[in-house]
Structure 1
Amino acid sequence: MNLSLQDVAWHDAMGRVIETLDQPNFWTALVRLLGRYVPVDNWVVLIYSAGKPQVLAESPGADGGMDSLFQDYLKGLYLLDPFYIANREAPQSGLVRLQDVAPECFEQTDYYQRYFRVNIVTDEVHINVQLDNQRTLSLSLGSQCRFSLEQGALLGLVRPWVAALMRQRLMFERDPGEAPQQPDNWQSRLEAAAEQLTTPLTGREMEVALLLLSGCSNKEIARKLVISAETVKVHRKHMYGKLGIKSQSELFSLFLQAQE
């Protein structure tokens, strides 16, 4: 067997990470190891389910505490997260890149401009471990620069190691078997607000609203809802009229207000 010094260093470092499997610093040790090979500027470990994501660990904010923007994410912005949406639509294990799941108009959304670009910065990749039909354990790695093809390939190469450790780590988390099934906060509040309108929003109009805010084009919305693009435009026009708004930015402002 011919091993390079880099191979030896990887196995030595991985062995040290395995030794922390039952320790509080496991996730930090794992991300630091990955950070030797790919740029990692922020990270979070989540369990995606039908309700609000469950946070197991995260990189500390500038003051050492939880990032305030991430609190906004947990209040309801997660509903616009392309990774969350992908996990609800088609949960699966594997390496998932932002470019794999981001809608066509993602970078034009208020979510991207006012949250993602500030909190995640530029690029994001997830290592997913599907636990069952409802839950997916996900390690999110955010970077100030785009991950190169080589870095993506390297993450794909080490993913089996990382995924196996992620699954084993669940045995040492405080309550790994319980998945919170809280209702989607914004959707429930929007439904309540819609009931106060003279002409309430329909369920389909609310579906269109959420997909618009997540960055889907009319064609993408049409494909997801199995309707025509012209029908999407009609739903959008009716929805804007009922809400008394004229733009997606105004719709996003209503979305934020519904979280308070």
Structure 2
Amino acid sequence: MTLSLNDITWHRAVGQLIDALDKPNFWAQLVRLLEQYVVFDSWVVLLFSADQHPQVFAECPGEDGSPDPLFQDYLRGLYLLDPFYIACREQSRTGLYRLSEVAPEHFELTEYYQRYFRLNVVADEVQFNCQLEGERTLCLSLGSEKRFTGEQIALLSLIQPWVLGLLRQRLPYEINETVALAAAPAQTDWRVQLEASVQQLKGAQLTARELDVGRLMLSGCSSKEIARKLEISVETVKVHKKHMYSKLGIKSQSELFSIFLQAQNA
């Protein structure tokens, strides 16, 4: 189905969504509208915040209605390896983003991709990002079992202003989000939590820079990408990697990923 700026059906549906901004079924209604124009297989609405675990506002229902254990792993700590989360934290911008735009060079070779992404998202993902005050980003992510086509991306780009406007206007009605942010204590920096967990699990003390290098490695960044992001030399990256592997008594990224998972669940 094609869409033009003069599409009467689209404008009528957007008007209905505006009327439903304060209704519990708003997110499902928005997703149903998007499904009329672009095919996707999964979706989730998240709030990314600095030093806070992502907060889920809505997500596509599972086949049996029970929580997806893979997604629970994501919320506990795998989100730190998510290219979209990393992009939000490094350069917060409002807009529509595609996986190919934010994924690091070796993303498809990572344990995160093999053991989480391709099983939970499958092939491709796009994300509407609405930047908010307080280093927060409201995100609507769409996952697909097939690569999104150029035509689909063009269509999503065309409707981007409407979707982002609706996301921004919906936020005040997320009562649970407002209460949680006001009541929840500030979360300890992820490096501190991870370092403490690694020390407990392996008896090893990693430096903040070694943790940064390890996380970026697990997210799929090459040594050159890590060096650029951390503003250090490639040789220094290799030294940090060598020291980290030695302290942990490991020889591969697969082993490092397993420790990362254990530490997040500790």
Fold shared by both chains (TM-score > 0.5): yes
Q: Conserved in 2, the CA contact under 8 Å of 1:186 and 1:255?
A: no
Task: Kindly indicate whether the alpha-carbon contact (under 8 Å) linking 1:127 and 1:140 is maintained by their aligned counterparts in 2.
Answer: yes
SS of 1:139's equivalent in the other structure is strand
C-alpha distance 254-232 of structure 1, shift in aligned 2 (>3 A):
same
> Tell me, which stretches of 5 or more residues in structure 1 are unaligned?
none
Q: Secondary structure at the match of 1:128?
A: strand
- Post-superposition Cα deviations, 1:196-216, rounded to whole Å, max 9, x if no partner, equal 877622211111100000100
Q: Secondary structure at the match of 2:129?
A: strand
Q: Does 1:255 find its partner at 2:260?
A: yes
What runs of 5+ residues in structure 2 fail to find an aligned partner? none
- The 8 Å contact of residues 197 and 264 in structure 2, kept in 1 or not, is answered as no
Matched letter for residue 203 of structure 1 = A
Q: What is the CA deviation profile of residues 69-94 of structure 1, one whole-angstrom value per residue up to 9, with x for unaligned ones?
A: 11110010001001111111111110
CA distance in 2, matches of 1:119, 1:129: 23
| TM-score, scaled relative to structure 2 | 0.90
Structure 2 residue 165 is the aligned partner of structure 1 residue 160? no
Asked if structure 1 preserves the Cα contact closer than 8 Å seen for 2:198 and 2:259, the reply is no
Is 1:214–2:224 an aligned residue pair? no
Q: Which residue of 2 aligns with 1:231?
A: 236
Looking at structure 2, the residues matched to 138 and 108 of structure 1 have their Cα atoms a distance apart, in angstroms, of 25
Instruction: Give the count of matched residue pairs.
Output: 258
d(CA) in 2 for partners of 1:162, 1:90: 21
Contact 1:46 1:57 in 2 (8 A): yes
Percent of aligned positions that are identical: 61
* Deviation for aligned residue 1:16: 2.7
Q: 1:201 to 1:15 in 2, by over 3 A?
A: same
Post-superposition, which runs of at least 4 consecutive aligned residues in structure 1 deviate over 6 A? Answer: 3-6, 195-199
- 1:116 is matched with 117
Shift of residue 66, structure 1, vs aligned partner: 2.5
What one-letter code is carried by the residue in structure 1 that aligns with 2:57?
A: L
The change in CA–CA distance for 1:198 and 1:170 in structure 2 (over 3 A counts) is closer
SS at match of 1:65: coil
Aligned equivalents of 1:197, 1:62: Cα separation in 2: 38
CA distance in 2, matches of 1:197, 1:118: 29
Q: Deviations over 1:205-249 (max 9, x none)?
A: 111100000100000001011111111111111111110000000
SS in 2 for 1:52: strand
Distance change in 2, residues 1:185/1:200 (3 Å) = closer
* 1:161-183 deviation per Cα after TM superposition (whole angstroms, max 9, x unaligned): 11111111112111444545423
Per the normalisation by structure 1, the TM-score is 0.92
- Residue 18 of structure 1: CA displacement? 2.5
